[in-house]
Amino acid sequence: MVKFCPPAIIVNFKTYVESTGKNAVELAKKAERVFHETGIYIGIAPQLADLSTVARTVEIPVFAQHIDPIRPGGYTGHVLAEAAKEAGAIGTLINHSERQLKLSDIDEILKRAKEQKLMSIVCANNPATSVAVSSLKPDMVAIEPPELIGTGIPVSKAQPEIVSGTVTLVREVNGKVTILCGAGISHGEDVSAALKLGTQGVLVASGIVKAKDPYMIMLEFAEAMKR
């Protein structure tokens, strides 16, 4: 298994056709190829139904897109941390803007992730909530203003002061958390910009998944990380 070493690219497969089922496996292989060619850490977050198949196929790290704040028991239709782990996840996204959670559930999920040794990436929609979730001591926090998600307008360009300001505020309460920047990242220069603003990586989705040539975009992102 690839060890986590920032700077990092995390690709959120969401529920796009281009990253579902067989397509998820194909996309995962491309991500793996970029990792092998560049040495840049690339994690992928496929849908839960695809998780075990993807995890069996590639050796890059696989994340769940969500787990629930539950312990083993009668919770039909929920996502048990143990199940995600056994299916091959090494971590999980938490509180993505498309799957927002109650504060007490974020807290409980972080406990469950820690117990199952799942790496946690908590998403937050603005500077204030980024600080709040950072105080809960996740492994990573991803800053993603939802109004920019899927727009192709990178948060590092549209609102660079939001990124750098958030980094400053987060560091006041948590010196260790890895800070990712998300929303609208679609070019290598967006990635470089994000790193220059003090983040340690990017969380991307449509910019890669829906690209004409996802392999080339991931390569571009990874190369930009080396600079």
Q: Would you please indicate which residues are annotated as catalytic (active-site) residues?
A: 96, 144
Among the listed ranges 1-9, 35-43, 97-105, 190-198, the one in contact with a copy of itself (CB under 8 A) is 97-105
* Cβ pair 201, 8 in contact under 8 A: yes
Alpha-carbon distances, residue 107 vs 30, 94, 139, 199 (angstroms):
34, 10, 13, 23
- Per CB under 8 A, does 211 bind a copy of itself? no
User: Is there binding between residue 49 and a copy of itself (CB under 8 A)?
Assistant: yes
CA trace torsion 216, 21, 54, 212 (10° rounding): 0
Token digits of residue 105: 């559930």
Stretch that binds a copy of itself, among 36-44, 89-97, 159-167, 184-192 (CB under 8 A): 89-97
53 binds a copy of itself (CB under 8 A): yes
Alpha-carbon distance of 59 to 111, in angstroms, equals 26
Beta 63-64 vs 41-45: how paired, if at all? unpaired
Give dist(CA 176, CA 77) in Å, integer. Answer: 34
Q: Which of 26, 98, 139, 223 binds a copy of itself (CB under 8 A)?
A: 98
Select the span of 31-39, 113-121, 128-136, 211-219 touching a copy of itself (CB under 8 A).
128-136
SS3 call for 144 = coil
Site size toward a copy of itself (CB under 8 A) is: 64
The verdict on 151 binding a copy of itself (CB under 8 A) reads: no
Query: What residue ranges bind a copy of itself (CB under 8 A)?
Result: 12, 14-17, 20-22, 45, 47-53, 64-66, 70, 72-80, 82-84, 86-87, 93, 95-107, 124-126, 128-129, 131-133, 135-137, 149-150, 173, 205-206
